[in-house]
Amino acid sequence: MKNLRRISMVFIFVIVSSLQPISSHAEEPNYDESIIINLDSKVSESTINKVQEKYSNIETNYIKELDLLVIDNIKPSQFSAIKDIAKEKLDAKEIIEDKEISLPDKSKQIPAKVAFSSQFTEDNDTLYDSWLWNIKQVTNDYRSYDINKGSHNTKVGVIDSGIDFNHPDLKNNIVDTGESFVPVEDNTQDFYGHGTSVAGIIAANGGVKGVGPNLGLVPYKVFDKNGKSKTSWVISAIVKATEDDMDVINLSLSTFLSKKDKEDRETIKLFEKAFKFARKHNTLIVAAAGNHGYDISNSKKLAQQLGKPKDNILHLPGGDKDVITVSATTAQNTKASYSNYGKNISIAAPGGDLDPSFLDTNKIDLYSLVWTTSPVNIPQTPLSKSLGFQEGYEPTLGTSVAAPIVTATAALLKTEYYEKYGEEMPIRKVEEILYQNTDHVENLDKNEVGSGIVNAYESLLNIER
């Protein structure tokens, strides 16, 4: 790599969220109220139809695998009556508000305007490769590719904002159109950008490379074009992806729920049911730890950090015992400044960071960021243009791009195991191999990185029954 490590920042332009281009829309869709009904028993289709006939505007989604019924598009004037019907006719155990889910990167707002003191003269073939320190690190300079690059028979479910079907680095690895759970967006094309960046880390194969450049990708859209989502969309997507036989699911999203709030406690149970359902069917879930810099293993401390000292707060999906929770590290193998941490961190992966002295020196090491795919239909940022990148590639940082490194590594292990032994690799075996073959860094403890920093090459090298 050429010695272009430190770039001066003199003037600053805005880089929002995770430094990615974000689609701008004047109007945001106004979603009506929705509820999730935790049923005491199975309910017949005819009973559901009777409720829908009475209120023709509502939509229902029966998730029979978890005994849940979602009622959507409820007008404020109907809310009380529909809840009463649910209690009387549907044998409702609990009726829960359908809460909003957020992307971890929403918490990273980085104001900046850049002018570069250096000129980049590399051609495109070497330009992109120069920035892929994160992929090189976990693949041992692409040596893992010699063992296994993945297969379209191994499918990764990306539960996110969709994937750009027109991106040259991704389109050949999208093996199914998946499904959209966003009411106003009936396709899985990415209009927000987050899902495409996640997909690129997993299986890009072109200008940039992913950890598993031949893995199969399937999008499940749960975030709309403005980055909004709901609990029911995510839970429905987990169930659907599991039923579609996804080998691994990536969840680069997060929510905070209060253990003291009755509805939140029920929402926690719903997520736990979904996670257990996936695990029971040997679909591994990998989740981002989140970008708040908080200890997510201590619910009382977390509540204090969130400004609610009398509360008791849980972070999900990252932190749950039935998912692999991934924290983020830097190019210097330190914990990323924004990354959540705690005793429930399973493993770490490169997620990038700003230079630690950025606020004092106005300097940023652009090679410390993570570069990945971005939708070609979303305007390119001035930063990527200045560096000579074509449309479709942007810098980012966060546990959102750390998690898919582990997701891809797990998918590669499943591919190699099947090709080697002719049978499906159990989740416990995947976790065992992942955790036993990490890179250990002296100045990082388990609360920051769990078992260590993931190493795809070593994991593939040491795979066994």
Active-site residues: which are they?
160, 194, 400
Taking the C-alpha atoms of residue 332 and residue 133, their distance in angstroms, rounded to an integer, is 10
Q: In whole angstroms, how large is the CA radius of gyration of the chain?
A: 22
CA-closest candidate to residue 223, choices 170, 165, 181: 181
Report the chain's terminal Cα–Cα distance, integer Å.
38
Taking the C-alpha atoms of residue 269 and residue 69, their distance in angstroms, rounded to an integer, is 15
Q: Chain centroid to CA 154: how far?
A: 18
Taking the C-alpha atoms of residue 323 and residue 252, their distance in angstroms, rounded to an integer, is 12
- Residue 422, C-beta contacts closer than 8 angstroms, at least 6 positions apart: none
Long-range contacts of 430-434 (CB under 8 A, 24+ apart): 430/284, 431/284, 431/324, 431/346, 433/459, 433/462, 433/463, 433/464, 434/324, 434/347, 434/406, 434/409, 434/410, 434/459
CA-closest candidate to residue 324, choices 250, 378, 273, 388: 250
